Amino acid sequence: MPYVFDANKPIAIGCDHAGLEYKTAIAKWLTEKGFTVIDFGTYTANSVDYPDFAHPTATAVEKGDAAFGILLCGSANGVAITANKHQGIRAGLCWQNDVAQLIRMHNDANMICIPARFVALALAEQMLDLFMNTPFEGGRHANRVGKIACN
């Protein structure tokens, strides 16, 4: 499958303490595949506040400094809610492969949020691969996506 994001731009990634292990592994996995990764932290297992890392990750995507973003925390709900406060972000919470495909196909998601406490790392990598390689369908979905922004 073709890579659907701008491969010349880096990938933004961020997490809280619950997502640190997966963030580290996923960043390494992406780097081994030849991608550049911008890591917005956290960098230790100490308890932190997820918005402190979700906001800069989302900002990089929103400004176009990153092709897309990856956020991880325990449930992925907190980081998804935080990222979706940004007008240019469509962050989807994923827990299975079908969802990773659908957030791209139907919602044109530009960030994937993964619940590190509820999915295996291998599944997280599969979902990410599907996310990166699934195009937006457009059509009837484009009209819906166009109505998401508040402004």
Active centre residues (catalytic): 73, 106
CA–CA gap between residue 116 and residue 127 (Å, rounded): 12
Burial class (CB in 10 A: 0-12, 13-18, 19+), 129: middle
Give CA–CA dist 43/23, Å, rounded: 9
Sheet strands (E) in the chain: 11-15, 37-39, 69-73, 91-93, 111-115
Name every residue whose Cβ is closer than 8 Å to that of residue 102 and which is 6 or more positions away in sequence. Answer: none
Helix (H, G, I), strand (E, B) or coil at 149: coil
